[in-house]
């Protein structure tokens, strides 16, 4: 698990377009993380893979519906990368979760 300082968290928040105060950090773990992302009744999870060294941000595209025929997961993270969850609930974002 990466140790994230306040400046790194601020950079991550900027990259994913979040200006709130609630930021949760979690360990990535050994099992793959399902990154399904689609609108359902006003709710959607947006997922991002961010390289905190280079500052590159890659959004994971919509997936998980019967039309997409995809169920994407992230099996592992490269050195210096974090996985970020930005959930919308009823059209609003209340927090983000950073998996490292």
Chain-centre distance for alpha carbon 95:
11
DSSP state, residue 37? B
Enumerate the H helices of the chain as residue ranges. 6-16
pTM given for the model: 0.93
Report whether pLDDT(38) > 80: yes
- For residue 15, is it within any domain? yes
- For residue 1, is it within any domain? no
Query: Which residues constitute the domain of residue 51?
Result: 6-99
Report whether pLDDT(2) > 80: no
Q: What is the pLDDT of residue 66?
A: 87
Q: What is the pLDDT of residue 45?
A: 96
Instruction: Name the band, by pLDDT with cuts 50, 70 and 90, for residue 22.
Output: very high
Q: Name the domain count of the chain.
A: 1
Determine what percent of the chain is predicted with pLDDT higher than 90.
Answer: 85
Q: What is the pLDDT of residue 58?
A: 97
């Amino acid at each position: 698990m990466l140790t994230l300082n306040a400046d790194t968290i601020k950079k991550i928040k900027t990259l994913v377009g979040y200006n709130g105060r609630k930021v949760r950090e979690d360990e990535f773990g050994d099992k793959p993380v399902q990154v399904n992302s689609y609108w359902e009744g006003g709710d959607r999870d947006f997922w991002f893979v961010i390289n905190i060294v280079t500052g590159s941000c890659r959004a994971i595209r919509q997936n998980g519906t019967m039309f997409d025929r995809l169920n994407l997961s992230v099996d592992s993270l490269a050195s210096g990368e974090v996985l970020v969850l930005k959930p919308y609930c009823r059209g609003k974002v209340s927090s983000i979760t950073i998996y490292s």
